[in-house]
Homo-oligomer: A and B are copies of this chain.
Amino acid sequence: MVKYPSGSSARLNGQDFHRPKQTKRAKKEISFSDRGMTLEEQINESNKYYLEKDLCVVHKKPTPIQIVKVDYPKRSKAVIREAYFRQASTTDYNGVYKGYYLDFEAKETKNHRSFPLKNFHDHQIIHLSRCLKQNGICFTIIRFSSLGRYFIVPASFVINAYKDPNKSSITLQEIETVSYEIQSGFRPTLPYLEAVDKFIADRSKS
């Protein structure tokens, strides 16, 4: 934990806070929030912030594991000695916000102009479709890491693109048209609820 001048604190993922200023990155106007964090870390930190402020309750789902063998050593806690990763059947994140059910997957690309659809898995698309049918607020957070840009992309758009046999990617231009861009923040790192508010408002209109 590093104390910031404001008195607030944030985890910096093991990085040294006092390293020399990265003027190159600063020129690109990449915010503090990008500093070496993966998208998952940014979302987890934001969820923690939202949770503490009672703004929403969203958690990342644990990775499903098939446990085969567990040791119970005397005087210490159980140790899993043989286990395997299982295929997930949902997206990574879900929760509740002002009565709405939120469900989303997080993806990032280093590309500048498009997002490859092969980043999605069948089970994620199927799960998002099911949650949409139940009137959930379903989306993907896509990060263009080279651009420092983040979007709330409605699941309906992603599902249609994924099912289109002629499409292997969605362009940044398409994403800009249908999505809600997340503005960089400091607290939380990735203030995605502001974009979700706009998404919900538009959905209610239609």
Residues of A within 8 A of B (CB): 51, 54, 56-57, 59, 61-65, 77-85, 89-90, 94-101, 103, 127, 130-131, 133-136
Contacts and interface: CB of A to CB of B under 8 A. Distances in A.
Contacts of A101: 95-96, 99-101
Contacts of A90: 59
B97 A130 contact: no
Contact of A83 (B64, B79, B89, B96): B79
Q: By DSSP majority rule, is chain A's interface helix, strand, loop, or mixed?
A: mixed
A125 to B, nearest CB: 14
A136 B99 contact: yes
B59 A62 contact: no
A15 to B, nearest CB: 22
A124 to B, nearest CB: 13
A102 to B, nearest CB: 8
A96 B59 contact: no
Contacts of A97: 134
B80 A134 contact: no
A20 B139 CA distance: 52
A92 to B, nearest CB: 11
B82 A135 contact: no
Contacts of A79: 82-84
Contact of A96 (B54, B77, B134): B134
A157 to B, nearest CB: 19
B96 A136 contact: yes
Given A51-B130, A96-B103, A101-B100, A80 B83 contact: yes
Contact of A65 (B81, B83, B89, B94): B83
A60 to B, nearest CB: 10
Contacts of A89: 59
A203 to B, nearest CB: 11
A66 to B, nearest CB: 9
Contacts of A85: 77-78, 80
